[in-house]
Structure 1
Amino acid sequence: MSEVVAQYHKLSQPPPHIIQKKKKMMTGEGKVVCVTGASGYIASWIVKLLLLRGYTVRATVRNPLDTKKTKHLLELEGASERLKLFKADLMEEGSFDEAIQGCDGVFHTASPVLFNVTDPQTELIDPAVNGTLNVLKTCAKTSSVKRVVLTSSTASTGTTDPNVVVDETIYNDSSLCLYMKEWYAYSKIVAEEAAVKFAKENGIDLVVMNPGNVIGPVLQPILNYSVGVIVDLMNGKFPVYSFYYRFVDVRDVSLAHIKAFEVPSASGRYILVDPDVTMKDIHKLLHELFPELCSVNKDGENELSEAAYKVCVDKFKSLGIEFTPIKDSLNDTIVSLKEMSLLI
């Protein structure tokens, strides 16, 4: 076994603060949950941790027969006994009925992550809003569902004032995003608003998770957007609006989703970001950890010199989760990308 492969095998396991004694890990024994968009980056880790905690998981994907996108799920520990794949389409009403029937809870992660679109209504807004409502409509008529955990984004909690401390009471301005043609942010805002409204009107216990830019080891064989940001930084490319980027480990985000389902008092929104890490910190650490892989772009570095806005994560910490050190997150990200041949 090569050193890289050995490292990847080690990091593809949850970090020490997530691993518990086996007896305590089986908190989901006897419970059935559904994870939508299960082949995605965050969702794959949610499925992994759910299986480790003893849950039976019903995972929806667009095509269960597409082994390129589902093989990593079927190879997870516990998958052969407690994981079943279901075909579902965000735009097809009733498409999630079979997967959700009899479930105790639902983790709705499925939503497009696109930043260059030609038809934002069709490519982003409709799947985000209508897809979320389709899932919630099924939950509303499924009496066994006790709680729904929705994956939103800090794109719906944005701020333009570096002096404002962002917490769960802060909401992004959808009309401004519409005017600025920030379609992804707009889709997340209106989808979250529609979900909260529908849940309130239909008596659904809904908890919303708002992660920032998620990094950490990848399980899926395709490079996703948030980890792609790290690859771009290594290649000397700096994302637009780097001032707004805040980071968090995918394993922490996934555990937070599960805790939001398990902890009876969990409610409302949860901002999931490391409050002390900015894009400039990430750039500096990448060059310290992997200097041989990083390009130098002195002109672009000036774009990272601004101070980022402040974030309050007291509510996140109330779930009993510790942040994975960002240095570990970055190291694990790059090692997994090497093993998956996703460094481009």
Structure 2
Amino acid sequence: MTEHLSHRTQYSHPRDQLMDGLDRIRLLLERYIVRRPWPRRNENPLEMLSDDLRWANPNGIAARLTAQRAAERRRAEAALFNEIELPVSQVQAAFSLSDLEVEFLLAAVAWQVDDGLSRAYSFAWNDYLRIVPTIGFLLDLVADGPESLASLRRSLFNGPLLRARLVHIVQPPRGADRADTLIHRHVRTDERMLGWLLGEEVRDDGVGGLEIVIDREPSAPSLILDEPVRKSLENYPKYLRKSRKEPAPLLLVGPTGAGKRTMACSLAIQLGLPFLAARVEVETWDEQERQLKQDTRDRTLLEHLRIIARD
């Protein structure tokens, strides 16, 4: 899994050596996304990305885009210039890319988590890739083995690679310890997960494992969650249109920089709701600031749909 990052530079500090692969991805994204947020009409975004990949790894993807594939490359560029959606499979065939290279390409485009998250995601989804990579792939890509992977997970627990990707919809059961209710399987907070909740087909079998536990029937004007999660979310827009009362707030809990606001915006868009409009309340807490048992708002949390984004 590390064949594209095998040219690592040896640094004096051991942590620098550990972070070398991630630094290359970070520098790549700084050049591609931050400094070039949107391609101009006469620029091919795939060619721009290839140039940056050549800079990051002279033996990687870009080096394989040689003159012998000029015809395929021109056809791919023509599709991009004409704003025609180019499926990932066509990109892979046109440039003779391996599955690993394709996934790295997707990761390079859509990984920006802290700065410009919405911009990077919308660029990947609305233009020509329309897919978001998994964190597991990036960790496997830069890790040299189980020990290195464990070190990466420990050192990057609060880093961008592990932020804004996990969600759990839950309400604590009656009498249960609040901390115990948070220990469940989580899923990533990207558009594929939202699409799965809304009944759309997704290609990622890992999107799943949602669990909801009802403590008591929510009081009006809250959204009653007596149906499966998917059906409840499908009915949420209808609930808002029919109800003349304030809707149930969406409570997003997570550490600083976890992407709570981005998640709320994505959910509102998927459900056709006006984000932060008068009839939609979104509340965000920082993980380190919330003290659920001591906070007076704790008594009302059981009544609401809770979307918890956490590491």
Fold agreement, TM-score > 0.5: no
Identify, as 1 or 2, the structure richer in strand.
1
- TM-score, normalisation: structure 1: 0.26
- TM-score, normalisation: structure 2: 0.28
Structure number with higher relative contact order (C-alpha < 8 Å, ≥ 6 residues apart): 1
Q: Which has the larger radius of gyration?
A: 2
